[in-house]
Chains A and B, each alone.
Chain A
């Protein structure tokens, strides 16, 4: 099976090319369902086939003896320049196959969903062509056996993200310094550039030192680096990852990336692309283990991002922005786990997060679709009765995100929090637990405001449940969100759970951390309590408030009491957070975008304008410049040449 891995990469590329052709031929006249279905099904098939191959490789890899743990498939030698050969060669080990399963699995479901979601859009084929191209680039990113090819995939997914955020380029979109979706796309593109430069720098450093960019040789020649080198390499890689995976300080592009169609948010900005930073650090974990300062930084940045983004999510009213900040926060969790050395826990959370966040985004898309592009949760409510499938799956996604006991999110979040605790960073653990409470709170808030209570949408809207192409992926993802945790049961239940065993076959390393079973039980209980508490708290606020407002015979005391809580909540969270999100973030944003990026741009352009003075158009002046250059060259030659 593994020999045919190039097919798995080729299918999405073929899908892209044919869809691009369909798009340029204007194959689909607006809203022709038959042709739409053909294009959509074809594109989906181009992702399902790689998934099938991934499953095949998975079993093949599993049947291998422990001594052979990976396949390296050389497709062809791409180019050779100087000492360096860059080959299109793919490395199939347990880590990359896991990523491939997630990318193609979730990717297939989202493709399927998009057939319904994008129905009637004039850019139907164009949308699918970008989506296929994205999967192509993403597969190159996760399968590459060298950093050069990986970086190409890295840039490729960035480019697709750019195109897809700006897909509806003529729409208005509000944000800091942003007026249209195109501005949002540009912002994402520019912030990612910052990270990409750091990544390039890291690659330069590595290449200079060992003369190769394959992961194999990097990881086997780590002893060639001294401490300073290791520090800078790890730091630069991490900065690169903060861009793509939306961490402090480069995270502000992700909420604005919600300008794109919702399936894009689910696929690119929740399940796959934004997790590539996690994947890369896990891939290079032996290197990071040797740079403890950077590891600490990763953990701190991760924890800070987790709590800040979670608290912002609490006060958002745009359903997609709630989920976007939630994604940033969950990615922060993963970085926290990476930072404390719990690499497997980070990967585990990556997988479960892909399930439930994709489920939530697709659910929100279903709602937005039903309400004709309404995204404000204040204009929703009461949709559970109208859209039972969407509502139920959204609820499942939300409780999984909260870490409700026995859901997938519960096990993964618990593991990474337990590992954080075991690593001895109690402060980071505390941040993680508070974040978990906030997570549970905003998850339930989003669900309750959207699906429970009174209908607050305009009467001329007649929301109804979405079609099967949209609900089937929802149910599959919901099921995975519920039971996906079995791959990584906590040690108290199963000593060697599956994902640890699986990932231990690859080269990733993690810190040895042991913990008494009793401690682990306590932590489990704490996590459950926090999750249930947060869910219940939000439920009580956001459902009863509405019923109270609706019926005047409510209990006055309770109302008063709730009012008091609301005030507290306001003072504790809303006001500071509103301050952060309305004052500090815009300033930060403005400083970053206008100050640094635009500043650099404008200064270049002003230099360019000033150069125009020299371009006088007078031939005599040009001749003079020629003579000046000549005199400079000749003078230098005469001075230096013996």
Chain B
């Protein structure tokens, strides 16, 4: 039992900290203070995950599985939360919705994400998913007097509840087929018997629930509408932390059933087709977007497609590639959304052409944004390139060369809309007034950009960690330290 607490310390600390935040906000009601404490909390939980990195095992009656993978995922979630919270204040102030509850809700959402990644039991999977999602519905609707924000929250809630229903139905069918809720026991059950049709249908429903969260085609249509209507920092959060969490859960599920899935051409084809459709639709739709927020929304769909290529490969290499990818993606996408949020709130600048000549006024900000755009496009030697490369190489190794080629072509198309932003920033003269923003934020973005560059130039160490982190997730029955 003490081991259980030690193992799941990051999750318990996060849950406890969220209660602390609620008390703090209720007593003092000072959003700025709650914000600082939320950031402290993220740092604390992330730090605990770093310190506890080598610990691994099952905890609380095999409800949680903790290992390198979970710790790595926790760090991504905390990073995402920390950056989003750090970048939110000015936007929320400008929109006049600077509530302390915003930070509480975001924090609890991260607790949900951590549960998703650590789930060893489908009950935890569901609780984690709901905790994360309900928090996101609230964040989407935060701007209560903004009709678009209301619409975004409503749409997200209706469709999200719908997807949760499908997922829950899937869980119940799997339980019916195997009599188990614990993932590793299900794995044993389908290995000893054979996977029945009932199991497969349940599995299909379960996966559909996750595909909705990562906005894979054709379950993606909510994405642009919701991102567009939500407060921009919240959209950044949804596209990074939430997506990383859904992918972590997906990886947890598929690694448990790896023996079944690796030998299933059917599964491979289903996921490959979805990955292909997601890459194609996401990129092509992004081409036509003038509004940067919508462009980034479709871009986030496309990136889900690239990451799905790793799931389709169904190898540890592919999953490790996804983990690296989510880390880089979190940094670069929050960077991109953050720049949009920073400039948007002043002048409601949302078109790519509004960024004309940004380089002249704000060279550092423009430079950082250029790094984010180029990295999203997968230009070497930036982090985004390594992520894509790792995932595509895994697909080639898994004899899915066509999928990797399609991915390369799709990202070539994507270069067009990312470079358009760079083009406006660097190669056009500014129109109208200079865009003003605090200099400190430029520095923050520059730091994120440096991190993206470093991940691209020196990825070896992180890749080694992601490779090693998957080892434990691969062994379904191992327990203890």
Q: From the candidates B285, B321, B457, name the one contacting A81 in the complex (CB within 8 A).
A: B321
B201 at the interface (CB under 8 A from A): yes
Whether B204 and A81, one on each chain, are in contact in the complex, defined by CB atoms closer than 8 angstroms, is no
Whether A604 and B285, one on each chain, are in contact in the complex, defined by CB atoms closer than 8 angstroms, is no
Alpha-carbon separation in the docked complex, A634 to B224 (Å): 26
Whether A82 and B266, one on each chain, are in contact in the complex, defined by CB atoms closer than 8 angstroms, is no
Alpha-carbon separation in the docked complex, A83 to B458 (Å): 19
Whether A169 and B393, one on each chain, are in contact in the complex, defined by CB atoms closer than 8 angstroms, is no
A630 at the interface (CB under 8 A from B): yes
Alpha-carbon separation in the docked complex, A155 to B321 (Å): 24
Whether B201 and A638, one on each chain, are in contact in the complex, defined by CB atoms closer than 8 angstroms, is yes
Alpha-carbon separation in the docked complex, A23 to B362 (Å): 11
Whether B208 and A626, one on each chain, are in contact in the complex, defined by CB atoms closer than 8 angstroms, is yes
B416 at the interface (CB under 8 A from A): yes
Q: From the candidates B205, B380, B460, name the one contacting A80 in the complex (CB within 8 A).
A: B460
- Name the residue of chain A whose CB is nearest to the CB of B289: A608
B363 at the interface (CB under 8 A from A): yes
Q: From the candidates B207, B221, B393, name the one contacting A622 in the complex (CB within 8 A).
A: B221
A131-148, CB under 8 A of B: which get 1 and which 0? 000000000000000000
B341 at the interface (CB under 8 A from A): no
Q: Please name all residues of chain A whose beta carbon is closer than 8 Å to the beta carbon of B463 when the two chains form the complex.
A: 79-81
Q: From the candidates B218, B270, B284, B459, name the one contacting A79 in the complex (CB within 8 A).
A: B459
Q: Please name all residues of chain B whose beta carbon is closer than 8 Å to the beta carbon of A208 when the two chains form the complex.
A: 396, 401
Alpha-carbon separation in the docked complex, A152 to B200 (Å): 44
B222 at the interface (CB under 8 A from A): yes
Report B149-204 residues with CB < 8 Å from chain A CB.
Answer: 154-155, 158-159, 162-163, 166, 195, 197, 200-201, 204
B409-423, CB under 8 A of A: which get 1 and which 0? 000110010000001
Q: From the candidates A25, A26, A152, name the one contacting B381 in the complex (CB within 8 A).
A: A152
Alpha-carbon separation in the docked complex, A47 to B158 (Å): 61
A548 at the interface (CB under 8 A from B): no
Whether B266 and A637, one on each chain, are in contact in the complex, defined by CB atoms closer than 8 angstroms, is yes
Nearest-Cβ distance from residue B186 to partner chain A, whole angstroms: 16
A432 at the interface (CB under 8 A from B): no
- Name the residue of chain A whose CB is nearest to the CB of B374: A159
Report B69-121 residues with CB < 8 Å from chain A CB.
Answer: none
Q: Please name all residues of chain A whose beta carbon is closer than 8 Å to the beta carbon of B386 when the two chains form the complex.
A: 79, 81
Q: From the candidates B219, B225, B423, name the one contacting A625 in the complex (CB within 8 A).
A: B219
Whether A608 and B288, one on each chain, are in contact in the complex, defined by CB atoms closer than 8 angstroms, is yes
Whether A605 and B266, one on each chain, are in contact in the complex, defined by CB atoms closer than 8 angstroms, is no
The answer to whether residues A81 and B389 also contact, given A169-B427, A625-B221, A637-B270 and a CB cut-off of 8 A, is yes
Whether A77 and B201, one on each chain, are in contact in the complex, defined by CB atoms closer than 8 angstroms, is no
Whether B222 and A622, one on each chain, are in contact in the complex, defined by CB atoms closer than 8 angstroms, is yes
Among A25, A76, A608, A617, the most chain B Cβ lie within 10 Å of the Cβ of A608
Whether A200 and B408, one on each chain, are in contact in the complex, defined by CB atoms closer than 8 angstroms, is yes
Q: Is the interface of B mostly helix, strand, loop or mixed?
A: helix
Nearest-Cβ distance from residue A89 to partner chain B, whole angstroms: 14
Whether A84 and B393, one on each chain, are in contact in the complex, defined by CB atoms closer than 8 angstroms, is yes
Q: Please name all residues of chain B whose beta carbon is closer than 8 Å to the beta carbon of A76 when the two chains form the complex.
A: 458, 460
Q: Please name all residues of chain B whose beta carbon is closer than 8 Å to the beta carbon of A625 when the two chains form the complex.
A: 218-219, 221
A518 at the interface (CB under 8 A from B): no
The total of interchain contacts (Cβ-Cβ below 8 angstroms) comes to 144
Q: Please name all residues of chain B whose beta carbon is closer than 8 Å to the beta carbon of A601 when the two chains form the complex.
A: 416
Q: Please name all residues of chain B whose beta carbon is closer than 8 Å to the beta carbon of A66 when the two chains form the complex.
A: none
Nearest-Cβ distance from residue B403 to partner chain A, whole angstroms: 13
Report A511-547 residues with CB < 8 Å from chain B CB.
Answer: none
Whether B427 and A182, one on each chain, are in contact in the complex, defined by CB atoms closer than 8 angstroms, is yes
Alpha-carbon separation in the docked complex, A166 to B428 (Å): 10
Whether A626 and B159, one on each chain, are in contact in the complex, defined by CB atoms closer than 8 angstroms, is yes
- Name the residue of chain A whose CB is nearest to the CB of B320: A81
Report A182-203 residues with CB < 8 Å from chain B CB.
Answer: 182, 185, 193, 197, 200
B44 at the interface (CB under 8 A from A): no
A610-642, CB under 8 A of B: which get 1 and which 0? 011011010101110110111001101110110
The number of residues on chain B lying at the interface, defined by a beta carbon within 8 Å of a beta carbon of chain A, is 66
Q: From the candidates A25, A78, A630, name the one contacting B204 in the complex (CB within 8 A).
A: A630
Whether A617 and B218, one on each chain, are in contact in the complex, defined by CB atoms closer than 8 angstroms, is no
Q: Please name all residues of chain B whose beta carbon is closer than 8 Å to the beta carbon of A640 when the two chains form the complex.
A: 265-266, 269
- Name the residue of chain B whose CB is nearest to the CB of A623: B162
Alpha-carbon separation in the docked complex, A20 to B364 (Å): 10
- Name the residue of chain A whose CB is nearest to the CB of B367: A24
Q: From the candidates A81, A608, A629, name the one contacting B394 in the complex (CB within 8 A).
A: A81
Nearest-Cβ distance from residue B165 to partner chain A, whole angstroms: 11
Alpha-carbon separation in the docked complex, A501 to B389 (Å): 41
Whether B208 and A629, one on each chain, are in contact in the complex, defined by CB atoms closer than 8 angstroms, is yes
Whether B379 and A155, one on each chain, are in contact in the complex, defined by CB atoms closer than 8 angstroms, is yes
The answer to whether residues A611 and B285 also contact, given A23-B363, A619-B155, A626-B219 and a CB cut-off of 8 A, is yes
B317 at the interface (CB under 8 A from A): yes
Report B217-236 residues with CB < 8 Å from chain A CB.
Answer: 217-219, 221-222, 224-225
Whether B266 and A615, one on each chain, are in contact in the complex, defined by CB atoms closer than 8 angstroms, is no
Q: Please name all residues of chain B whose beta carbon is closer than 8 Å to the beta carbon of A163 when the two chains form the complex.
A: 426
Alpha-carbon separation in the docked complex, A621 to B221 (Å): 9
B residues with a Cβ closer than 8 A to A are 154-155, 158-159, 162-163, 166, 195, 197, 200-201, 204-205, 207-208, 211-212, 217-219, 221-222, 224-225, 264-266, 269-270, 281, 284-288, 317, 321, 363-364, 367, 379-381, 386, 389-390, 393-394, 396-397, 401, 405, 408, 412-413, 416, 423, 426-429, 457-460, 463
Could you give 6 example pairs across A and B, Cβ below 8 Å?
Answer: A78-B459, A81-B317, A619-B158, A630-B166, A633-B270, A638-B197
Please give 19 more A-B residue pairs, beta carbons under 8 A apart, in addition to A619-B158, A638-B197: A23-B363, A24-B364, A80-B463, A81-B390, A81-B463, A83-B393, A166-B427, A185-B427, A612-B285, A615-B221, A617-B225, A621-B221, A622-B159, A626-B159, A636-B266, A637-B200, A637-B270, A640-B269, A641-B195
4 smallest A-B Cβ distances: which pairs? A24-B363, A608-B288, A81-B393, A629-B218
